[in-house]
A = this chain, B = another copy of it.
Amino acid sequence: MSLMHYTRDNMAGLLRGHDINPTHQRIEIAHALFSRQEHLSADQVMAIVNTRHSETSKATVYNTLKLFLEKGLVREVIVDPSKVFFDPNTTPHHHIYEVDSGKLSDIDAEHVHISGLPPLPDNMVTEGIDLIVRVRRKA
């Protein structure tokens, strides 16, 4: 699993497994995210997918990323006020954000413990807990 090598061929199966009809564009977009295992913005996905020659429209990139999100194939990371990052890692984990460079990296949730959170009102459920460590280069 952790040694999985994400080829374009794998992508169709991955998409089907999440109830997503594997079209050419969707395969390319999934491949961009999963072969790199990096946090990418819509713009970056757009650029990657259209490197050779223009293949996929902006509308499709945005629609597809939203679809992936709904189907639980990717996760959204909100750390930069100017753009959303899409994260192919959907296992519970946290993030380190380097504010100067915009570099975003993962912290495994395994050893992190958060205690003392107040109880939620009865009619509420937790959808997720986002922990972001904002760091900066030392002066």
Point out residues on A near B: beta carbons under 8 Å.
76, 78-81, 84, 96, 98-99, 107, 111-118, 120, 122-138
Contact = CB atoms under 8 A, between A and B. Distances in A.
Oligomer copy total: 2
Contact of A107 (B76, B117, B133, B138): B117
Contacts of A99: 127
A120 B117 CA distance: 25
A134 B138 contact: no
Q: Is the interface of A mostly helix, strand, loop or mixed?
A: strand
Given A78-B80, A81-B78, A84-B81, A126 B133 contact: yes
A48 to B, nearest CB: 21
A78 B99 CA distance: 13
